[in-house]
Structure 1
Amino acid sequence: MDKHLVKIILGGVIFAIALFINSEIIWLKPAVFLISYLIVGGDIVMRAMGNITKGEIFDENFLMSVATIGAIIIGEYPEGVAVMLFYQIGEYFQDYAADRSRKSISDLMDIRPDYANVKRGDEIVTVDPQEIRIGDVIVIKPGEKIPLDGKVLEGRSMIDTSALTGESVPREVEAGHELISGCINLNGVIIAEVTKEFGESTVNKILDLVENAGNRKSNSEKFITRFARYYTPVVVFIAVFLAIVPPLVFESATFSQWVYRALTFLVVSCPCALVVSIPLSFFGGIGGASRAGILVKGGNYLESLAQAETIVFDKTGTLTKGIFEVQKIHPKGISEEELLELTAHAENYSNHPISQSLKRAYGKSIDNDRISELKEIPGKGVQARVDGRLVAAGNFRLMESIGVDYSEEHWDGTTVHVAIDGEYAGFFLIADELKEDAGLAISRLKELHIKKNVMLTGDTESIGRGVAETLGMDEVHTELLPADKVEKVEEFLGQKSKTGKLVFVGDGINDAPVLARADIGIAMGGLGSDAAIEAADIVIMTDEPSKVAVAIGIAKNTLSIAKQNIVFAISVKVLVLILSGVGLASMRAAVFADVGVTFLAVLNSFRTLRVKKFTQV
């Protein structure tokens, strides 16, 4: 059994015995009360004395020690012991609540791998993941955690990603697929090549993020810390005033009467309910979000997210799947096969989803020796020499910048124009698909009373407006370069209210400047994306835009609970402080105002862990 609980039970039993003692031995009852007091309160008194030697005088340990020892000195033994006993009960439930909140975080921390099986010649050796280098070949057996990021060389298996994403459905991997550290191999043996060392692996970056989340305090937490720093010394001086001045001024007043009132005042004044429950609320909110596959880097970001007023989405990879496929090829003065071959070679070094789709459509191996003078032009496209011929592939801006006349036909999709040696050679029509829950994401945000949902895209007016109308966006801005997106976000920042916040949601790949400029940056698809984890304030581990609404729901709920605790705690304490000052509140009422309010506030904080209602469709 927990030592803390044993101490409470033992002290409580002895306290109960003392209450029923009816002996002629005068010192027996006080002695039993003192034994009970030393059991339940001895450590608090010692802690208060230790803090005084360090210069940390005015804390809850000091207040409880002075109040209870003072009660014993004036003969109020039951009051002194009861206060300390109920204080310890409150502390026990605080610890229990904190442990519950930490457990939701520690469940995520279980993703840390303990070992890795690395191939050394014909042998398999078990080593620390930190000893493995890029290019090493590792073996992951069924039931083992994937220790490092890698690429599958052999084998097929189902992978459990729930610790990272909150999703219960396993993913299938086979040769050629990427492996993410921290996931669990369920049923097959996998042989993989390591692509990142442990320090740079996904699991390590996530663990660093989670471990440091508690260091970023919300404004509410900072306020409570400042409040307690000034509040506690003030109430101590008021208590001293109550104990000394009235008996000297009023003839009918007695020192014992006003000392009792001053001690009651001290018990009430302890700011435990605020100091404990507010950080616990935000800690619980962060823990609850992690259960849903949403990593929040600190309570300050959770608090800001609750005040979201404008949500700005990047289109490609955020609201759409970002998996482009070539739908049509329109060559001009060249065969389809040659146009596709030259364009795929020119696009070979680009990681843009459109470039990937052109290479997939080509479907053959690309000879890098045929490519030279490669140049990627942000927001426009690429240029390269392929077999000595200058190939330019991109949007209409690229064609205009090199002075090539292009086809202005309008199609539902993205048009990639191609010029070869300064002559227009045709275009490709490439289409993207909306994510299944994109519409649900926008409708849920409207239910949460978000004032404005905006979409930014580099696509043409017709494509952008079509997607925006399908989703029910409030605004759409098209044909934007990366720098234009930053300007648009600046514009929206100037339009929001003083208390409202602007949230930008991107895929974390090329949105770092906008993510940094917004009040809150949310990156989608953090599973496997270093850029997402580094750049954003909040990381959604899956590719579901509907989880933006889940994150905002959790944030609003957390802030609401924190505010409830502040209002409730301060209201009750002020009332009982006034009543104790005029002699209408006993020390038992003071115990309720301190321990009781703390207990109720902590119980209320538990509700931040309940996130299921926000994740249900």
Structure 2
Amino acid sequence: MNKKQKRWRNRIIVALIIFAIVMAATELLPLSIWLGSERGAVYLEFALFLIPYLIAGYDVLAKAARNIARGQAFDECFLMSVATIGAFAMVFFPDTGPHMAEGAAVMLFYQVGELFQSYAVGKSRKSIAAMMDIAPDYANIERDGELVQVDPDEVTVGDIIVVKAGERVPIDGVVIEGSSQLDTAALTGESIPRHVDAGATVISGCVNMTGLLKVRTTKPFGESTVSRILELVENASEKKARTENFITRFARVYTPVVTIAALALAVVPPLLGMGAWSDWILRGLTFLVVSCPCALVISVPLSFFGGIGGASRLGILVKGSNYLEQLAHVDTVVFDKTGTLTSGTFNVVAVHPEAGIDPDSLLSYAAHAEAYSDHPIAVSIKQAYAGEIDRSRIKDVQEESGHGVRAVVDEKIVLVGNDKLMAAHESAWHECDLVGTILHVSVDRTYAGHIVIADVVKEDAAQTIAELHAAGVKSCIMLTGDRRDVAEAVATELGLDEVHAQLLPEDKVNAVERLLANESDGAKLAFVGDGINDAPVLMRADVGIAMGAMGSDAAIEAADVVLMDDKPSNIARAMRIARKTMRIVWQNIVFALGVKVLILVLAAVGIANMWLAVFGDVGVAILAILNAMRCMSVKKMSE
């Protein structure tokens, strides 16, 4: 609670104490006997209740006056001012009872509700502010043998910065010296530190936990990950959901309509001789108090704000409440394969030597033949080989594009590649039953065996599909440019409903267009990709979800929802958050409107008094705010 809120709270507490004392005095003390007349006691009550009323509500009255002067009269301050001033003005109608206590109570409890709202919004903002804490205050640059702290904006691409233990990485870059553990929790929600050493890419916003790192920057600060995320979070509130926009438009029409209705209720019946002026004016004032739409205009945006804030703490960045609303209605989820459901890195999954050939010897020949290649397949073979590569054993390396590599290793001709390479060199080979990329190895035209390389399915990918189906998603579909047999094997393993393989980027867009055309009314389609190669599809889907997007500008630009870690299971968590947020939004809308309509009817027929009106306004608002605050509970929202 900030200083302004504390002063506000203290003022309301003082007003409540004075109100309670005045209430007790007027109820328990024989004021009319002491003053010698009933009217004298009424006027004294007027003066006494005016004290807490003005202490609590002077700012509401001032705001209402300013808005009237600007021609913007119809808001909750206007409604509260007219209703409470009217309640006090009832003292001038001798034929009716005094209503100063109700007038003061309406203003007091309205302010209590406003203070509660301010606290709730502040708490929600803290979940967003936690994300803002990733912003670095400075960067360390070495000058004349000393470390100097400079503004991150002053650092240019290619500069060497020093990140000490306990400091945040200020700018994206590559480690050139040192090793350490990085805390990425603020970006991804992941509690396990990430190990980095020379050659590793680091992104801004992470906390260096142990050793000293020297980092060569690869982006200016304004384009680094932390800047892009902060910009994304700050702009999230600008993109409102249809429900939120409806409530805003509703309040603009609703407020003047109920004001005119209250005026008609107070004036028309007594003009027609249907009762005393005091009775109908009181009904009109009660009608005004109940009609204040603050429960809706507060709780609905607060629910969305809380949902977005709660998601951000899990490393799920939603660009606006409109995307949160659409995510809640998704019934079809389309996945890219590589980097989304699979790790995107090739690994050796099997080594099948021919009879009499040692597996390590087969890997050794393949690793030496691929020693000079940077192709992902070559890298995976070299990583799988346990020994050290002796380049003095290698001669005459020739890469045959699309086929493989030919090299002389230990004076023997070694071929490593696909079946086309074997056929081109008239070497024997045979098929393998395993699904993946098959690298055949031939030594001096004698078939030595083959190595199976595959893009490994992520640990939580199958769990993701199961959770999405459990959440009511009808179709989980995979689109990939990979071979059909590989794609179908992954789809079977994960339990996907459909798979479309060997697609070019434009084929993916066409496939999504067809799926969108078949969507039922109100249902939405989400596409999940890595955000770089899939930008066109991410932008075309109803909801584009980019995952594993730490440092990916394309992902942050193209997607509507950005998952900062590499876990597909967070897709299901994001959908659960969106759906619970929408349930809470509609609970508040139905509850607030239902109670208000009921009490408005009771007020119009003279059954509801001003105390019931206080509940209809402030009570409903507080209950709706409490319900909206459930959106901020990350654990409950993502379960």
* Common topology (TM > 0.5): yes
Q: Return 5+ residue gaps in structure 2 as ranges.
A: 92-98, 353-361, 406-415, 422-428, 441-448
For 2:546, the equivalent position in structure 1 comes to 523
Aligned length: 584
Deviation at 1:509, TM superposition (A): 2.0
- Quick one: which of 209, 214, 225 aligns to 2:237? 214
TM-score where L is the length of structure 1: 0.87
Q: Residue 270 and residue 176 in structure 1: after superposition, are their counterparts in 2 closer, same or farther (change >3 A)?
A: same
For 1:87, the equivalent position in structure 2 comes to 110
What is the alpha-carbon distance in structure 1 between the residues aligned to residue 637 and residue 114 of structure 2? 30
For 1:8, the equivalent position in structure 2 comes to 12
Q: Residue 80 and residue 336 in structure 1: after superposition, are their counterparts in 2 closer, same or farther (change >3 A)?
A: closer
For 2:205, the equivalent position in structure 1 comes to 182
What is the alpha-carbon distance in structure 2 between the residues aligned to residue 409 and residue 516 of structure 1? 41
Considering only aligned residues, what root-mean-square deviation do their CA atoms show, in Å? 3.5
For 2:599, the equivalent position in structure 1 comes to 576
Q: Secondary structure at the match of 1:47?
A: helix
Q: Residue 319 and residue 240 in structure 1: after superposition, are their counterparts in 2 closer, same or farther (change >3 A)?
A: same
What is the alpha-carbon distance in structure 1 between the residues aligned to residue 191 and residue 533 of structure 2? 29
For 1:404, the equivalent position in structure 2 comes to none
Write the deviation string for residues 321-350 of structure 1: whole angstroms up to 9, x where unpaired. Answer: 1111356899xxxx99999899897876xx
Amino acid at match of 1:562: V
For 2:344, the equivalent position in structure 1 comes to 322
Deviation at 1:356, TM superposition (A): 6.3
Amino acid at match of 1:57: A
Write the deviation string for residues 513-556 of structure 1: whole angstroms up to 9, x where unpaired. Answer: 11011000101112222222111100111110011000000000
Amino acid at match of 1:14: I
- 1:439 paired to 2:452: no
Q: Residue 252 and residue 432 in structure 1: after superposition, are their counterparts in 2 closer, same or farther (change >3 A)?
A: closer
Amino acid at match of 1:278: V
Amino acid at match of 1:289: A
For 1:17, the equivalent position in structure 2 comes to 21
- Quick one: which of 251, 259, 282 aligns to 2:304? 282
For 1:30, the equivalent position in structure 2 comes to 46
What is the alpha-carbon distance in structure 1 between the residues aligned to residue 85 and residue 377 of structure 2? 75
For 2:289, the equivalent position in structure 1 comes to 267
What is the alpha-carbon distance in structure 1 between the residues aligned to residue 116 and residue 12 of structure 2? 12
Q: Residue 587 and residue 382 in structure 1: after superposition, are their counterparts in 2 closer, same or farther (change >3 A)?
A: farther
For 1:378, the equivalent position in structure 2 comes to none
- Quick one: which of 40, 43, 50 aligns to 2:66? 50
What is the alpha-carbon distance in structure 2 between the residues aligned to residue 394 and residue 80 of structure 1? 87
For 1:422, the equivalent position in structure 2 comes to none
- 1:68 paired to 2:84: yes
Contact 1:412–1:463 (Cα < 8 Å) also in 2: no
- 1:596 paired to 2:633: no
What is the alpha-carbon distance in structure 2 between the residues aligned to residue 12 and residue 165 of structure 1? 45
Q: Residue 412 and residue 517 in structure 1: after superposition, are their counterparts in 2 closer, same or farther (change >3 A)?
A: farther
Q: Residue 248 and residue 615 in structure 1: after superposition, are their counterparts in 2 closer, same or farther (change >3 A)?
A: closer
Q: Secondary structure at the match of 1:458?
A: coil
Q: Secondary structure at the match of 2:176?
A: strand
Contact 1:413–1:432 (Cα < 8 Å) also in 2: no
Amino acid at match of 2:71: G
Q: Return 5+ residue gaps in structure 1 as ranges.
A: 376-380, 385-392, 400-406, 419-425
Contact 1:119–1:136 (Cα < 8 Å) also in 2: no
Deviation at 1:415, TM superposition (A): 3.8
What is the alpha-carbon distance in structure 1 between the residues aligned to residue 173 and residue 613 of structure 2? 60
Q: Residue 559 and residue 138 in structure 1: after superposition, are their counterparts in 2 closer, same or farther (change >3 A)?
A: same
Amino acid at match of 1:307: H
Contact 1:67–1:266 (Cα < 8 Å) also in 2: yes
TM-score where L is the length of structure 2: 0.84
What is the alpha-carbon distance in structure 2 between the residues aligned to residue 157 and residue 571 of structure 1? 58
Deviation at 1:465, TM superposition (A): 1.3
Deviation at 1:472, TM superposition (A): 0.9
What is the alpha-carbon distance in structure 1 between the residues aligned to residue 531 and residue 173 of structure 2? 20
Q: Percent identity between the aligned chains? A: 55
What is the alpha-carbon distance in structure 2 between the residues aligned to residue 610 and residue 259 of structure 1? 44
Q: Secondary structure at the match of 1:168?
A: coil
For 2:132, the equivalent position in structure 1 comes to 109
Write the deviation string for residues 475-514 of structure 1: whole angstroms up to 9, x where unpaired. Answer: 1111212111111111111111111000001111201011
For 2:409, the equivalent position in structure 1 comes to none
Deviation at 1:412, TM superposition (A): 3.5
Q: Secondary structure at the match of 2:522?
A: coil
Q: Which structure: larger Rg?
A: 2
For 2:577, the equivalent position in structure 1 comes to 554
What is the alpha-carbon distance in structure 2 between the residues aligned to residue 142 and residue 561 of structure 1? 43
For 1:294, the equivalent position in structure 2 comes to 316
What is the alpha-carbon distance in structure 2 between the residues aligned to residue 329 and residue 531 of structure 1? 37
What is the alpha-carbon distance in structure 2 between the residues aligned to residue 439 and residue 536 of structure 1? 23
For 2:424, the equivalent position in structure 1 comes to none
Deviation at 1:360, TM superposition (A): 6.8
Q: Secondary structure at the match of 1:321?
A: strand
For 2:410, the equivalent position in structure 1 comes to none
Contact 1:318–1:505 (Cα < 8 Å) also in 2: yes
- Quick one: which of 254, 257, 266 aligns to 2:276? 254
- Quick one: which of 50, 57, 62 aligns to 1:41? 57
Q: Secondary structure at the match of 2:344?
A: coil
